[in-house]
Amino acid sequence: MAKKKTTVVRPRKSKTKTRQTRRLLPVLERLDIDVVSSATLNGANVDARLVDAITGIDRDLTIDGANVLTLPIHDPDRELLRADLLGGQIDLDLGRAGRWRMDRSRDIGGLAVNDDILTLRLWDRSSAALRAQTAPIRISSERLDIAGLARFFAREVRGDAPMQIVAPFPGDIPPEETTSSRSSGKSSIGFSASAAAKVKVKGARATRAQLKAIDAILAEATELRAGTRVKVAALMAATQESRMGAEGHTTGDDDTGYFQQGREWISAKNAKDPAKGCRAFLLGGEANVGGTEKTKKGWKQHFGSLSSGAAPSDLGAAIFKVQSGGAGANSWKEEAERTVKLWTGNASGSSSRTVKRPAQWRRGTSDGPESSWSALDREAKRLGRRRFIALPWRLAPRLVVASDQSLIQAQPHVTVKGLDSGILTAVPSIDIEGVKTLQEIELTVVASAWPAPPGAVAELVDFGPADGPWIVKRIGVSAGSDDATVTLQKPTTKVEAQPEATRAASATRGGRSASSAAQAFYSKGLAISAKNYPYHWSGGHASAGSPSGGGYDCSGYIGAACAAAGWGLKPGDSVPDSGWFASSWGEPGKGEEWTIWANGNHVFAEGHGKFEGRSLDTSPAYSAGNRARGPHVRRGSRSTAGFTPRHWRGH
């Protein structure tokens, strides 16, 4: 009898692979002193004598400022020190090792002399090009998010230093600005009802349209830190030229608006905006560009003299000409002086008010001009981000504007396993005081084997309390040296604290704003996430906001965020389990800003609006983002089947 054939069923291998967030940054390029022999200096091949005189080449790469290339050069006869080369701009192109610039006239790089060695310090060219752009600008934030601002600055220098933009989750815009006060019992135009009745234009009581124009002109002059004398002159000019009207006695596009300005000063459209017209009038042209040579001069020079009452010159003469010419000039002066007093609250019957200005991106502050490099740093920090240049990879360097949290979620460039790892050339020092956590650690590594540039992720394993992902903060590497010094930094939830008044007003995608409670909920979740606590069953329950047992579980994590927001719990309260969130917490249904999904076994929070695409969860069951178990801010989506949606009223 024939044997029955047995079919063996083998389990099929799953084709599903764990997805990790892609690396945001390139692998670090190797540095070799031989690159100097094939380099170009100001577009020409480097002189052979200069190549021979270079004794070393070092790179200091960082996320805290510009990357710096250091060239020590043997110059015993001071030949190079006296050369015209050092008096101008130096551009050194090292190919894949980067393009570098020194221009001391723009505060880029520098030099030092020590015995027979002349040392040159050059910036990476992208940072240097951004540093060179200083013309003041203001851009509506409704048109640009932080990534758009970075692209705007990059386009200005595209021909000189092309760069790619890396800005994960770019939908942030700056908060609405609040300036200090002049105000209760006031109208929306900045004057109290009694004060508004006393404002006159050419002897006649000001209309509401004229009051709005006056308010806009004085607010703009105040923002430019103009003194009373300049404000009076601006009102006199608008009174004389247009009777404080957008059309005035318009004769054409070359003479239009409140200040009857020509095209060399401002566009015809902007001339009909009292604030923009005032700014162009006081600064000498729209955004201080274009116009005659006299009007191109910097506003600080003019306001430095005008606000102090010194004799005006150039643009100052144009501003003050209305005080000495034209019929009725003296009466207009008295009229303008009284109007300024009424607006600032120095006359009887007037009051103060709080002025809110729409969110805008700026280059240039009330303290004076500012470069794109500094402006982008300031705006990024305002949103809790960093800006830095990741050196060349493929076609161009990368201009990165990213939060520590988005950086740390990227796939690690390197994993260092243990204090005796082969990539280390010395045992690192670990020193922790009391209950504090380690914030930085310095490694000495094999230079040729280290692939992670500043801003990339390095994961430490079997380092005890230093275990986990770290951000590469700085790398110091010398050509010809076997070692490199690497500084790692624990990720932080913010680079620089925002003012308390602006956190609640942070603007969001689609023009919506997050409430202060919703922002507090997310900020607490982000702060816990940054500390990389492990998952610990019943962790975080003993006192809402504090870990217990070394970490958090799902309801302890969500309870901590709710306590920070004031949603049903207070800091220090005991946190119930996930069943309480499913049946008793908040109200049924999805929220506008946050939804709590819960059942008897698990609870997590899903964000909406500004927080769209982000969740607070201890589970790694997500399509993207942090894959580790534990309390983390997650990216991507997960199934809500079997969960009940709850929300806090109004959120």
106-120, 251-265, 637-651: range with lowest mean pLDDT = 251-265
Res 284: pLDDT: 66
Place of tokens 């740093």: 377
Among the ranges given (301-305, 517-521, 643-647), the one the predictor scored with the smallest mean pLDDT: 301-305
Q: Give 510's DSSP letter.
A: G
| CA–CA separation, 347 and 345 (whole Å) | 6
- Structure tokens given for 111: 């030099």
Tens-digit pLDDT profile for residues 574-619: 999 998 999 889 988 999 899 999 998 899 999 988 788 889 999 9
Which pLDDT does position 128 carry in this prediction? 95
Are 323 and 333 in contact, with CB atoms under 8 Å apart? yes
pLDDT 10s digits, 17-62:
434 567 888 888 888 888 888 889 998 998 888 888 898 899 999 9
For residues 530 and 406, is the Cβ–Cβ distance under 8 A?
A: no
By C-alpha distance, which of 550, 571, 548, 549 is closest to 560? 571
Average pLDDT, the chain: 78
Name, in order, each residue with C-beta under 8 angstroms of 376's C-beta and a sequence gap of 6 or more: 130, 149, 150, 153, 387, 401
Q: Residue 235 belongs to what H/E stretch?
A: helix 228-242
**Full-prediction pTM beyond 0.85?**
no
Q: Which residues contact 403 (CB under 8 A, 6 or more apart)?
A: 168, 169, 383, 384, 385, 386, 493, 494, 495
Structure confidence at residue 624 as a pLDDT band (50, 70, 90)? low
Neighbours of 208 (CB within 10 A): 11
Tokens at 597, concatenated: 């999904």
The pLDDT of residue 141 is 75
Say how many Å lie between the first and final Cα of the chain, rounded: 76
Q: Considering only 72-76, 264-268, 486-490, which range has the smallest mean pLDDT? A: 264-268
Q: How many helices (H) and strands (E) does the chain have?
A: 17, 28
Task: Report the SS3 class of residue 334.
Answer: helix
pLDDT band at 625 (very low <50, low <70, confident <90, very high): low
pLDDT at 244 over 80: yes
Q: Scan for tokens 């689609």, then name that residue.
A: 510
Q: How confident is the model over 167-188, as a mean pLDDT?
A: 54
DSSP string, 29-60: PP--GGGGGG-EETTEEPPHHHHHHB---EEE
Q: Please give the angle made by the CA atoms of 102, 104 and 107, to the nearest 5 degrees.
A: 100
CA angle 237, 241, 247 (to 5 degrees): 125
DSSP string, 391-450: EEETTEEEEEEE-HHHHHTSPPSEEEESTT-TTBSSPPP----TT----EEEEEEEGGG-
Mean pLDDT of 225-237: 80
